[in-house]
């Protein structure tokens, strides 16, 4: 079914709505004013453009839009977010999607090729967006871009898998740069590497593909670009030739925008082409919304369900698109996009280099992503009147004037400082239009500074921002100090609208720039601008502190500038730390090095005969970079209906009544289905059946499904779902771990214990130091780029087929069969690939399938259900928040003796996997430390949040982080370095853990020693200390952290796997196994094992989709054990086949595999085998051997923090990871980097904010951070500037296939080296001001916590010794 209206047959040819897509002419339909470009593209079959968030925050929907600038006549190429771009706004444009630039049959574009061959695509869902961002950058430039421009162009694209490094490396080849700049020595071992060129280094040839020493003269194609993922013929296309690119259609060169009036059922689209027509439209429809990029209105319409019956496109009006300098003012038309403004400020000679221009450029660099800046207009940003607008404080401080006009009236000029009246309220009248913005150019001795602090640097909304300007005049008397002639200070993020510090400014006028002046100004500002205790947005202390921090920075910056321009005598003595306070944010392009040794059997790299151990490309990489890789939401059969969930609005309530009567009569609706319609059992659950498919009498969390509304289109379904009326009777909710502890709300019998030795006796002995405390660790959203979705297709009788984005097809099969009341043999779940999972699609995906299955079964129609990003984040669970209360005994030297630890996790409203997650936390509490006496008790807390679930590490990282937090406190207590205390507590090889498993072949000391040597830790420790002595307001920290991670499911029966291998008579092999490909390279690795065992090229192996009718009863793809288990199962099947073929190989020496196979076939030999594997020896939780083996690793990270703002950068990270003999070292390195960056998000950036007792400004039980606008995962700007990864060499693992080791989860915890480096820097800051060193840094280490814990005394803001910022634990 199509959501799109049909084409209007009577539309006059002169008003034909024309757009070109990938060079083909399209006629846009009428009545689609409320449609986005993304909806249209996917409707016409261009599914390479993905829906990741729907709010322009992830970049998965990036396309390039080319249009002719009517004013200049030039063609402009811009990357935009198709999910926000209004469909009619691209009329007269050429849209290019990922499918349009290259594919497997006609050849890959160099951008696609480089990304695939550099291992820059894992799950692949985000990949088309990255490709199109880079492609648009190249098309928009007349010369090669710089590395900085490449990183800036990718700032609006998110990736959850790769850690960004391979993406940046892939695209770096397009930059104008010296290839020698990439050569970096890997500390301590003399190995060198580069990422481009074929460079001699240290007497060794360097592979241009990997940056590694090349021993056999391989080319880039041999190591990095070899693709054996498909056998189709592929032509090489010279895309460096402009003739190979899609040209701008000649028809569009002659077409000019015409006035449009396009009525629709819900919305009318207007496109005036002159100012008079625009004013007429606003006079007739004062409430009409004028849009250019639709970056604000589009979000309001989708997520806030705002109805705007009149939309006016302001992009075609010449007067609104002008930008020029007139009489010492920059005049900017209100429809000028932010990117156009940036280009003008950089190029116009009158603006370039002025303080005003520089301030705007710096602020715009961090204003959303490039795709948003390419579309959004300055007028929209102003008229939205957002209290956190980045530009409005600058406009106010620069004395900007806004020119507005209405029909029949001359222009009216409003000063920016009088324009913003309240929350999203301005001084404009409804019929008025903002026409131009007048910004005075900076004068001599006038300085402008912009400020912004956010959760992360790139593409983030401000917590607090500011714009400040000061103009000095020379002294009139003998005093050499210059005086303030004029000053303006404005803040955003501290009130319902942008506010002006009028009292502070009034005080400063006529004053010299001295420390006395600063001290009084800081005091006035802190009283004048103050965030209230219960203010929306929270973080009250932090926001108030930023008010004075920004003013101090402004004083320092302006003072140094005046000193430079007018002489040192013009200002008073600058305060201590002024230079470090004034230092602007700088980040050089990132770089990295990846090292792995040669295969363990002594082969050289690139031996094509034996693919195991080779760094071959992900088998689907080329499909992913071209957009040809299909995901479960990409293909719908004819007649598919669309579902929308009706979910609870309260965290705990009785359901009094459900009335769908107003919904089911709406157009296109096929029905509303709830618990009473479930054909089978309404009880579902991951382990215990303690959930409901649809709530019956009571809801226990916001977002809990009550029913599903099914309609012909998604818009119809969502609109109707809003009309279902549910009456509730509210009940008391439990919203946090602390609430649960107070109410004794736990899942009875689910909290297990581990006891070793006698901790109580150690505490009572009086021989040891005793420490008691509490650790708090926040949760984490999975933020897989592909949202939860499923397609349920009924077959004949009671047959059901599902195409689901899940890590556990068997669970889907089992639960859907139960809900429908049919046997499992009639239900098939198929999964080709998923766009990221990380544990979030192990158990929390089947409720989506169950909900969709009910109407599909009853209506006998296919039903698709895809959650919006905000629904997904609210309802599908997260990494568990943890709280630990502990008591510790230790010696004066720092040796740990005994611990009694009570761990609490927030399970949510159902048990899900929380017991097993707590079990793994208890098993990993020791990390790599031998503690003689341990008593560990888990508490699984029952709360009124949607159930939390598996996430990479499965509780292990939380357990290890608790121990590392405690160990750091011990080190501080005994006055020793954390490194020394860690080393004295290490396990020795052969010692037993607290649960009784011996550490066989332990590698933690190998990793630890090597990473300290590679990173030159001890020298850099001294350098960090020296830096901190010289810098007052910027501090550095460095930390080294080890890890030990157990591999196996801790539930014994899950440690089994199956595989099915078919050999065909043409010599090719079809492989199917029970594991799911989610970007981790599982299919590639298992195919490598298959090819190596059969002795055939990897190109002869094809991996089919995962399906329950091929390999039954498969365990979830989880626990990092999939390569071990499914690789071993495939090995078993292949060994059976080899045994059957051996007689024919012996009879036919020298014959090809195909010939041998045909000989066996003619002799009636079975050429199909089912392989099976069960992990030996493991016995699960409660035994002395819960794990098959351990993975080890260590990392060193160095950071720099800004004490005034809490901002931080990761300067360098070194990792050494124990991966055994890698099955595929390139994929393994990618897993290490991706896990590290994801982990860094967990412990340093990402913060879930719930409506609970510590966040009363959020509705109870609501998740505030439910989209990329409010929840921030790391971007390419957040990764370590210098990122070095080494795989431990010469350490095979005899307990897994091909002596390899798991690598998905074990590296995750190494990211805490960043957390503890930040803590180290905070400690240096507290030493600076003689603050207590007994402080607690909770996780995550957000800018708020960094700022409050390292607070200075210079700004007059006093730190509370026991401060501990709020969090949702």
The packing angle between helices 338-347 and 355-365, to 10°, is 140
Separation CA 1013–CA 1284 (nearest Å):
13
What tokens appear for 200 in the block? 């001699």
Rounded alpha-carbon distances, angstroms, from residue 27 to 24, 80, 666: 10, 21, 29
What tokens appear for 689 in the block? 């059946």
Q: What is the DSSP string of 531-599?
A: --TT-TT--HHHHHHHHHHHHHHHHHHHHHHHHHHH-GGGS-PPPTTHHHHHPPP--PPPEEEEE----
Choose among 675, 996, 678: nearest CA to 854: 678
Q: For 432, how many CA atoms within 13 A lie in the half-sphere containing its CB?
A: 19
* CA dihedral of residues 1333, 1199, 1310, 976 (deg, nearest 10): -30
Active site residue 1013: no
Reply yes or no: is the peptide bond before residue 541 cis, omega within 30 of 0: no
Residues whose CB falls within 8 Å of the CB of residue 1070, separated by 6 or more in sequence, listed in order: 1061, 1062, 1064, 1102, 1104
Separation CA 925–CA 918 (nearest Å):
10
Separation CA 488–CA 788 (nearest Å):
49
Rounded alpha-carbon distances, angstroms, from residue 1157 to 678, 737, 1130, 1134, 1154: 51, 62, 18, 13, 5
Choose among 128, 159, 79: nearest CA to 1277: 159
Q: What is the DSSP string of 56-73?
A: SSS-TTEEEEEEE-TTT-
Q: What is the 3-state secondary structure (H, E, C) of 1170-1204?
A: EEEEECCCCCCCCCCCCCCEEEEEEEEEEEEEECC
Question: Residue 1019 burial by CB count (10 A; 0-12/13-18/19+): exposed, middle or buried?
Answer: exposed
DSSP state of 1264: S
The sign one gets for the Cα dihedral 1264, 1269, 1273, 1278 is: negative
What tokens appear for 1252 in the block? 């609970």
Identify how many contiguous H helices and E strands the chain contains and give both numbers: 37, 51
Residues whose CB falls within 8 Å of the CB of residue 326, separated by 6 or more in sequence, listed in order: none
Residues whose CB falls within 8 Å of the CB of residue 1026, separated by 6 or more in sequence, listed in order: none
Q: What is the 3-state secondary structure (H, E, C) of 80-99?
A: EECCCCEHHHHCCCEEECHH
Number of C-beta neighbours around residue 563 at 10 A: 17
Pairing state between β 698-699 and 653-659? antiparallel
Separation CA 1121–CA 1174 (nearest Å):
11
Choose among 1111, 1049, 1047, 1109: nearest CA to 1075: 1111
> Among the options 1305, 1328, 1344, 1361, which is catalytic?
1305
Cα end-to-end span (Å), the chain? 44
Helix (H, G, I), strand (E, B) or coil at 811: helix
Angle at 977 between CA 973 and CA 983, to 5 degrees: 105
Pairing state between β 268-271 and 310-313? parallel
Separation CA 666–CA 1064 (nearest Å):
53
Helix (H, G, I), strand (E, B) or coil at 663: helix
List active site positions.
1305
């Amino acid at each position: 079914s199509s959501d799109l209206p049909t084409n209007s047959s009577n539309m006059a040819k002169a008003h034909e709505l024309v757009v070109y897509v990938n060079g083909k002419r399209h006629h846009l339909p009428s009545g689609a004013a409320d449609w986005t470009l993304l909806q249209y593209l996917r409707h016409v079959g261009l599914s390479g453009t993905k829906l990741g968030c729907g709010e322009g925050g992830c970049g998965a929907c990036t396309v390039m839009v080319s249009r002719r600038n009517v004013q200049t006549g030039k063609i402009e190429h811009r990357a935009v977010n198709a999910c926000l771009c209004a469909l009619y706004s691209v009329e007269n444009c050429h849209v290019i999607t990922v499918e349009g630039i290259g594919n497997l049959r006609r050849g890959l574009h160099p951008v696609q090729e480089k990304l695939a061959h550099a291992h820059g695509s894992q799950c692949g869902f985000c990949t088309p967006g990255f490709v199109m961002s880079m492609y648009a950058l190249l098309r928009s430039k007349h010369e090669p871009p710089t590395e900085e421009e490449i990183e800036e162009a990718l700032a609006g694209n998110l990736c959850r898998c790769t850690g960004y490094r391979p993406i940046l490396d892939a695209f770096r080849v397009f930059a104008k740069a010296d290839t020698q700049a990439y050569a970096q020595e890997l500390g301590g071992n003399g190995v060198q590497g580069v990422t481009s060129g074929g460079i001699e280094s240290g007497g060794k040839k360097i592979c241009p593909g990997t940056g590694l020493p090349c021993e056999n003269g391989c080319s880039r194609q041999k190591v990095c670009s070899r693709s054996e993922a498909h056998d189709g013929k592929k032509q090489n296309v010279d895309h460096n030739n402009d003739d190979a690119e899609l040209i701008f259609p000649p028809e569009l060169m002659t077409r000019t925008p015409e006035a449009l009036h396009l009525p629709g059922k819900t919305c009318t689209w207007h496109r005036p082409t002159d100012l008079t027509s625009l004013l007429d439209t606003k006079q007739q429809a004062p409430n009409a919304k004028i849009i250019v990029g639709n970056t604000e209105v589009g979000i309001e319409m989708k997520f806030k369900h705002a109805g705007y019956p009149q939309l006016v496109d302001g992009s075609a009006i010449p007067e609104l698109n002008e930008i020029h300098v007139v009489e010492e003012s920059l005049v900017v038309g209100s429809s000028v996009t932010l990117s156009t403004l940036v280009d003008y400020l950089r190029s116009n000679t009158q603006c370039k280099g002025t303080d005003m221009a520089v301030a705007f450029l710096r602020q715009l660099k961090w204003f959303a992503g490039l795709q948003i800046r390419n579309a959004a207009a300055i007028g929209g940003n102003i008229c939205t009147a957002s209290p956190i607008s980045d530009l409005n404080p600058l406009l106010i401080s620069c004395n900007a004037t806004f020119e507005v006009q209405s029909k029949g009236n001359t222009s009216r000029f409003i000063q920016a400082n009088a324009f913003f009246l309240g929350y999203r309220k301005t001084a404009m009248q409804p019929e008025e239009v903002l026409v131009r913005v007048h910004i005075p150019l900076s004068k001599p001795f006038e300085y402008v500074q912009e400020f912004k602090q956010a959760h992360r640097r790139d593409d983030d909304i401000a917590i607090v921002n500011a714009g400040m300007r000061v103009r000095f005049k020379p002294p009139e008397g003998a005093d050499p100090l210059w005086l303030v002639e004029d000053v303006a200070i404005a803040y955003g993020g501290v009130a319902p609208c942008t506010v002006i510090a009028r009292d502070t400014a009034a005080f400063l006028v006529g004053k010299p720039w001295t420390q006395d002046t600063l001290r009084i100004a800081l005091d006035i500002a802190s009283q004048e601008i103050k965030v209230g205790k219960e203010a929306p947005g929270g973080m009250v202390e932090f926001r108030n502190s930023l008010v004075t921090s920004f003013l101090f920075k402004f004083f320092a910056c302006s003072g140094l500038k005046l000193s430079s321009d007018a002489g040192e005598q013009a200002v008073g003595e600058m305060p201590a730390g002024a230079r470090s306070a004034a230092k602007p944010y700088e980040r050089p392009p990132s770089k990295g090095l990846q090292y792995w040794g040669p295969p363990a059997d002594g082969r050289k790299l690139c031996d094509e005969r034996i693919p195991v151990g080779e760094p071959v490309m992900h088998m689907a990489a080329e499909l992913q970079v071209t957009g040809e890789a299909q995901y479960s939401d990409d293909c719908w059969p004819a007649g598919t209906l669309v579902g929308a969930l009706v979910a609870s609005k309260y965290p705990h309530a009785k359901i009094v009544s459900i009335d769908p009567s107003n919904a089911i009569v709406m157009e296109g609706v096929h029905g509303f289905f709830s618990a009473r319609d479930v054909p089978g059992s309404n009880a579902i659950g991951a382990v215990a059946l303690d959930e409901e498919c649809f709530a019956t009498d009571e809801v226990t969390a916001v977002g809990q499904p009550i029913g599903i509304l099914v309609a012909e289109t998604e818009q119809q379904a969502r609109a109707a779902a809003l009309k279902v009326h549910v009456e509730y009777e509210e009940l008391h909710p439990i919203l946090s771990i602390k609430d649960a502890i107070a109410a004794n709300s736990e899942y009875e019998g689910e909290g297990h214990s581990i006891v070793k030795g006698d901790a109580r006796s150690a505490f009572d002995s009086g021989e040891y130091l005793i420490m008691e405390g509490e650790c708090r660790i926040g949760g984490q959203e999975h933020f897989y780029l592909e949202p939860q979705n499923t397609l349920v297709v009924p077959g004949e009788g009671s047959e059901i087929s599902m195409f689901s984005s899940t890590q556990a097809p068997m669970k889907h099969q089992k639960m859907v069969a139960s809900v429908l009341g049919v046997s499992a043999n009639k239900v098939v779940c198929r999964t080709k690939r998923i766009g990221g999972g990380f544990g979030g699609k192990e158990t929390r995906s089947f409720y989506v399938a169950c909900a969709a299955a009910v109407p599909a079964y009853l209506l006998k129609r296919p039903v698709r259900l895809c959650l919006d990003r905000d629904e997904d984040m609210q309802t599908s669970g997260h990494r568990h928040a943890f709280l630990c209360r502990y008591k510790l005994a230790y010696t004066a030297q720092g040796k740990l003796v005994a611990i009694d630890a009570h761990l609490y996790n927030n399970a949510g409203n159902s048990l899900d996997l929380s017991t097993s997650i707590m079990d793994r936390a208890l098993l990993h509490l020791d990390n790599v430390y031998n503690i003689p006496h341990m008593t560990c008790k888990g508490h699984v807390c029952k709360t009124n949040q949607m159930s939390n679930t598996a996430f990479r590490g499965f509780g292990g990282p939380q357990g290890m982080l608790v121990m590392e937090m405690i160990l750091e406190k011990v080190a501080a207590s005994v006055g020793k370095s954390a490194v020394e205390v860690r080393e004295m507590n290490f396990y020795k090889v052969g010692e037993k853990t607290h649960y009784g498993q011996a550490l066989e072949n332990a590698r933690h000391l190998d990793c630890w020693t090597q990473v300290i040597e590679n990173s030159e830790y001890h020298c850099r420790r001294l350098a960090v200390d020296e830096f901190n002595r010289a810098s007052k307001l910027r501090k550095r920290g460095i930390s080294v952290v080890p890890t030990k991670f157990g591999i196996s499911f801790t539930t014994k029966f899950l440690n089994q796997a199956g595989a099915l291998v078919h050999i065909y008579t043409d010599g090719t092999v079809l492989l199917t196994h029970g594991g799911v490909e989610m970007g981790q390279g599982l299919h590639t690795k298992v195919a490598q094992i298959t090819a190596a065992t059969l002795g055939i090229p990897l190109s002869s192996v094809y991996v089919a989709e995962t399906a329950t009718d091929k390999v039954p009863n498969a365990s979830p793809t989880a626990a990092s054990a999939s390569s071990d288990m499914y690789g071993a199962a495939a090995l078993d099947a292949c060994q059976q086949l080899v045994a059957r073929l051996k007689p024919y190989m012996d009879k036919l020496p020298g014959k090809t595999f195909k010939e041998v196979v045909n000989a066996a076939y003619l002799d009636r030999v079975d050429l199909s085998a089912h392989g099976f594997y069960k992990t030996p020896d493991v016995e699960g939780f409660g035994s002395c051997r819960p794990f098959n083996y351990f993975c080890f690793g260590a990392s060193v990270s160095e950071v720099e923090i800004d004490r005034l703002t809490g901002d931080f950068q990761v300067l360098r990270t070194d990792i050494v990871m124990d991966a055994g003999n890698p099955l595929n070292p390139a994929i393994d390195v990618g897993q290490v980097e991706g896990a590290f960056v994801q982990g860094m998000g967990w412990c340093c950036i990402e913060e879930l904010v719930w409506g609970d007792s510590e966040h009363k400004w959020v509705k109870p039980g609501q998740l505030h951070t439910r989209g990329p606008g409010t929840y921030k995962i790391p971007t390419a700007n957040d990764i370590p500037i210098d990122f070095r990864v080494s795989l431990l060499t010469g350490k095979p693992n005899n307990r897994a296939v091909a002596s390899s080791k798991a690598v998905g989860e074990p590296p995750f915890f190494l990211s805490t080296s960043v957390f503890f480096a930040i803590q180290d820097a905070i400690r240096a800051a507290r030493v600076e001001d003689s603050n207590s060193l007994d402080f607690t840094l909770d996780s995550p280490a957000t800018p708020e916590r960094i700022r409050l814990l390292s607070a200075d005394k210079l700004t007059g803001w006093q730190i509370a010794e026991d401060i501990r910022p709020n969090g949702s634990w």
